[in-house]
């Protein structure tokens, strides 16, 4: 596994910390129902779909992501493993790009298609969240920001993928992995919320 460049991270820290309106939207609490599951969004596969259409038999994993945030770049090598893990668990998996302020540039649909293909997860649904409406409803703060739901669309885990974005081989706490397996096994998820670490979602400020 690659190690994330601290130099590259340093160049982005100020941007990652900038407010893009996310603080005004409250993050969903554990046990809350997912909003806007019938909201239509365009996918990189050319289709228009909804969260409900992508729902798995045992639940759904939603990750707010993007193309350029260094935290995403550090973590996204783990997306294909998550895709296999969720498939084996009959859990739907969808990536959401809510960076509306960068829609004409690095986070355009064409850039999303190219990026997903280059990084080996073109088969994972990757959706455009126009005007950041879904991010606002979820209270998504960062890229990445994880939301795991059971099959009744109740939130069972929220936060980070694991405890080490820099080096997958140095991970000690596999928060999302453990949450998925405990959900399937009917066991308590602990912790069920962790701090989402990443770049702020780039909303268009009104």
Q: What is the band of 5 on the pLDDT scale with cuts at 50, 70, 90?
A: low
The string of DSSP codes covering 100-160 is GGGTTTTTSHHHHHHHHHHHT-TTS-EEE-GGGHHHHHHT--EESEEEEE-TTSBEEEEE-
Sign of the dihedral defined by the CA atoms of residues 153, 159, 164, 165, in that order: positive
Least confident of 15-19, 58-62, 175-179: 15-19
- Domain extents for the chain? 6-200
Please state, in angstroms and rounded to a whole number, the distance separating the CA atoms of residues 96 and 72: 12
pTM of the model: 0.90
Q: What is the pLDDT of residue 108?
A: 98
CATH 3.40.30.10 fits 6-200, yes or no: yes
Q: What is the pLDDT of residue 22?
A: 54
In this predicted structure, the answer to whether residue 19 has a pLDDT above a threshold of 60 is no
What digits encode the pLDDT tens for the residues 30-57?
A: 999 999 999 999 999 999 999 999 999 9
What digits encode the pLDDT tens for the residues 123-147?
A: 999 999 999 999 999 999 999 999 9
Count the neighbouring beta carbons within 10 Å of the beta carbon of residue 199.
23
The two beta strands, 91-97 and 59-65, are parallel
């Amino acid at each position: 596994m690659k190690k994330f460049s601290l130099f590259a991270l340093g160049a982005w820290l100020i941007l990652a910390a900038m407010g893009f309106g996310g603080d005004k939207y409250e993050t969903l609490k554990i046990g809350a129902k997912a909003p806007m599951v019938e909201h239509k969004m365009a996918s990189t596969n050319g289709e228009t779909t909804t969260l409900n259409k992508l729902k798995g038999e045992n639940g759904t994993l939603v990750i707010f992501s993007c193309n350029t945030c260094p935290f995403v770049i550090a973590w996204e090598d783990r997306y294909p493993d998550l895709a296999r893990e969720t498939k084996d668990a009959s859990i739907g998996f969808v990536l959401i790009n809510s960076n509306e302020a960068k829609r004409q540039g690095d986070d355009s649909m064409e850039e999303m298609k190219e990026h997903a293909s280059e990084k080996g997860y073109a088969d994972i649904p990757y959706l455009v969240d126009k005007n950041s409406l879904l991010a606002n409803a979820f209270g998504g703060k960062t890229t990445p920001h994880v939301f795991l739901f059971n099959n009744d669309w109740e939130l069972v885990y929220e936060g980070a993928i694991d405890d080490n974005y820099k080096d997958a081989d140095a991970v000690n706490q596999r928060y999302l992995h453990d949450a998925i397996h405990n959900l399937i096994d009917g066991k308590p998820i602990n912790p069920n919320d962790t701090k989402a670490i990443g770049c702020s979602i780039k909303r268009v400020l009104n």
